[in-house]
Structure 1
Amino acid sequence: MAVAASFRLLGTILLLAIAGRCCSQEMDHIQLGRIADTIDNLTRGVQAIASGVMKMFALMATDHLVCEGGWFRLRSSCYFISEDTSTWEESRQKCIALNSDLVKITHDDEYNFLRDLAKGHHTYIGLSDIQEEGTYRWVADGTIHQIVESWWRKGQPNNYNGGEDCVHYRSSNDGLNDIGCDTKVRYICEKPAHLGWNFASVLDEGTPTEK
């Protein structure tokens, strides 16, 4: 009887130990889940703060971007319009000598800005189909230009007489047009703006307003 009672007591102790262990494991899972949720929330919070800080610095950087005298800024780029006239290739070499390249247009705001900058003058841009007829590429990086009809003069580009491989902006707000690359007109160069802490405007009176 004593032995049987002892076995019963031992069994009871084991059952209580197992039950306690199960309960402890359940509590561990609950606590671990709470800790994981807390870490996840903290991670999202840190990411949100980091994103906000990056945006703030980006805005600050844009506010302090400047261009040297004679160049005009739109966002993070500086633009120069020549007073002399050159062929398309000569124009490009002159831009390169200024640590820039013939302008690449990427969005409507930039097109409108350059249209105002070039008003009254035929001006080369960095676009041609010299490499392959009908495939227009930006010389600055070789990317293919997807024709935006609103940028072009009506009926252009048309490769008139089979000899028009370079693109310029026609005066009188007439739009882009393909012409012979040996034609001498003005040109527009583009390069990145740089950080500066002089808050004076780099634009002369009567030029497009920086954006």
Structure 2
Amino acid sequence: MAVATCFRLLATILLLAMAGRCYSQQMDHIQLSRIADSLDNLTQGVQAQAIASKEVASGIMKIFTLMATDHLVCERGWFKLRSSCYFISEDTSTWEESRQKCIALNSDLVKITHDNEYNFLRDLAKGHHTYIGLSDLQEEGTYRWVADGTVHQIVESWWREGEPNNCNGCGPNSSGEDCVHYHSPNDGLNDIACDTKFRYICEKPAQLGWNFASVLDEETPTEK
């Protein structure tokens, strides 16, 4: 009788222990599930905040970009195209003198980068031979933009027919033609001796501002 009672008590204790373990495992599972849900919610919250912050930052950048584009201006006497300002001189100088005069104006001889700019400068120079910032002074036949030293890949539509030719047909005493100007009225670029005196075109970046007296925004310049 006593033995049977002991076995029943032992069995009861084992059952209670197993039940407690199962309950503990069930609680652990519930807690882990809750923790996983919390982590998911936290991750989603962080991601949403990151996306919102990125959208806000992108919106702010767009606003600043629009403001910058709308308020880029040039000083009186300069003509604006996109983000650059251009100045055409009324005096004439050699190519190097022209460059130094541009530098004194916080600019440099113009660098042409695309057809729209070429057409704009062609109109600006109408009726005048004008120096631009292109030469092969460093290496014969390799034309570089003086503003940044980059090599000019010849765009045939910009040049007069047969140019550049380094004074083809000139006499033996010729020093050659190393500097480039816009040739008017024959309409196109031409290489010329650098000591020839022409007008010149300077270029510099447009600036943010609202108080300049005169602003010309991508307008075709009037003939000077």
Shorter-chain TM band: 0.7 to 0.9
28-37 vs 122-131, which deviates more? 28-37
Structure 2: gaps spanning 5 or more residues: 1-7, 169-174
Percent same amino acid among aligned pairs? 69
* 1:77-116 → structure 2 map (5 Å cutoff): 77-116=84-123
1:53 corresponding residue in structure 2:
60
Residue identity opposite 1:19 in structure 2: Q
Distance 1:129 1:17 in 2: 86
TM-score normalised by length of structure 2: 0.81
Taking the aligned partners of 2:10 and 2:82, their CA distance within structure 1 comes to 91
- Verify: 1:170 aligned to 2:183, yes or no: yes
Number of aligned residues: 207
Q: Distance in 2 between matches of 1:151 and 1:90?
A: 24
Q: Distance in 1 between matches of 2:37 and 2:154?
A: 60
Q: Which residue of 2 aligns with 1:39?
A: 46
8 Å Cα contact 1:102/1:125 also seen in 2: yes
Q: CA deviation at 1:200?
A: 5.3
Q: Give 3-state SS (helix, strand or coil) of 1:160's partner.
A: coil
Aligned: 1:154 with 2:167? no
Structure 2 letter corresponding to 1:65:
L
Residues 25-34 or 128-137, more deviating = 25-34
User: Unmatched 5+ residue regions in structure 1?
Assistant: none
Say whether the 8 Å CA contact 2:160–2:186 is kept in structure 1: no
Counterpart Cα distance in 1 of 2:116 and 2:27:
70
| Aligned equivalent of 1:8 | 15
How high is the TM-score relative to the length of structure 1? 0.86
Larger gyration radius, structure 1 or structure 2: 2
Deviation at 1:89, TM superposition (A): 0.7
Provide the C-alpha distance between the structure 1 equivalents of 2:108 and 2:30, rounded to a whole number of angstroms: 72
Kindly provide the amino acid, as one letter, of the partner of residue 169 in structure 1.
Y
Q: Give, in whole Å, the separation in 1 of the partners of 2:25 and 2:141.
A: 81
Q: Which has the higher mean CA deviation after the structures are superposed, 82-91 or 11-20?
A: 11-20
CA distance in 2 between partners of 1:47 and 1:116 (Å): 44
Q: Is the contact between residue 133 and residue 165 of structure 1 (CA under 8 Å) also seen in structure 2?
A: yes
Q: Deviations over 1:50-96 (max 9, x none)?
A: 22222222222232222222111112221110111111111101111
Give me the CA root mean square deviation: 2.3
